[in-house]
Structure 1
Amino acid sequence: MDRSTQIKALASEPRMKILSLLAEPGTHFGEQWSADPVEFGVCMTLIADALGVAQPTASRHLDLLRQAGFITVRRHQKWSYCKRDEAVIGAYIDWLTRHLKATA
C-alpha cells in the first residue's frame, strides 16, 4: 500500500468527515432506501449531501479515499455505494503507531 497516498487522503477535513460518517452508516444514512447502508454501503449522493458539497467535489474526495484503500466503492444499477474497509484502516493505524514510536 502506498502510505503517501494514505497520508494525503487523511490530510483533509472533508475526507476525515466521510470516514467518520461511514463508521456508523446506519445512524448517519438510515434514510437510504435503495440498499442497506450498513451491509451494502452508502450512496455517493447522500455522502455529498451530508458534506454540503456538490457531487463532483464529493466524488474527488471519495476517489482519493478509494485510492488509499480506506473505502471500497461498488456500483449497483446507476448508483455507486461506499463502505469503509476496516482492515485497511486498522493496518494503517498500526503502521502509523509503529512508525511514530520508532522515530520518537
Structure 2
Amino acid sequence: MNGGMDRSTQIRAMASTRRLRILSLLARPKAQFGHQESADPEAFGVCMSLIAEALAVAQPTASRHLEILRQAGFITVRRHLKWSYCKRDEAAISGYLDWLRREVGGAG
C-alpha cells in the first residue's frame, strides 16, 4: 500500500514517544476514551481535544503530532461539525511493521 517514498515519513512518525503513545491510546479507544460523549470512539474515532488531554499537552502540540501520523498513513482524521476525530489505520500500521521486519531481517 505505502511505497518506498512514504517510508521516511512513516519512520519519522514512529520516531517520537508522543506519537507512539497516541497510537497506543488509539489501539483501545473504548477503554481509553469511553467517556467521549460526542461519538462512539471505536466506530467514529477519538476527538483531538481528548487526545491532547490524555497526553497533557496543548491542542496545537497534539494537532502537530496527529498531522504527522496522518501524513504517514497511520491514522485517519474525520471532521464532524467543529471537531476532528482520529482513528488508527490498522492495515497501514501492519504494512509498516511487516516492511520493517523484512528490512531488518527479523524473525516473523
TM range (shorter): over 0.9
Using the size of structure 1 for normalisation, the TM-score is 0.96
Report the Cα distance in structure 2 between the residues aligned to 1:101 and 1:53, rounded to whole angstroms: 37
Who is 2:66 aligned against? Answer: 62
Task: Give the structure 2 partner of residue 48 of structure 1.
Answer: 52
Q: CA deviation at 1:82?
A: 0.1
Please name the residue that 1:34 is paired with.
38
TM-score (norm 2): 0.93
Matched, 1:84 2:96: no
The one-letter code matched in structure 1 to 2:41 is: P
User: Which of structure 1's runs of 4+ aligned residues deviate more than 2 A?
Assistant: none
- Partner Cα distance (2:87, 2:39) in 1: 12
Distance apart, 1:80 and its partner CA: 0.1
- Seq. identity, %: 71
Deviations 1:42-81 (A, max 9, x none): 0000000000000000000000000000000010011000
Amino acid at match of 1:22: L
2:97 paired with 1:93: yes
Q: Match of 1:11? A: 15
**Counterpart-to-counterpart distance in 2, 1:65 and 1:24:** 17
- Residues of 2 paired with 1:95 and 1:11: CA distance? 16
How far is 1:95 from its partner?
0.3
Question: Which structure 1 residue ranges, 5 or more long, are not aligned?
Answer: none
Letter in 1 for 2:61: T
| 1:74 matches 2:78 | yes
Partner SS, residue 74 of structure 1: strand
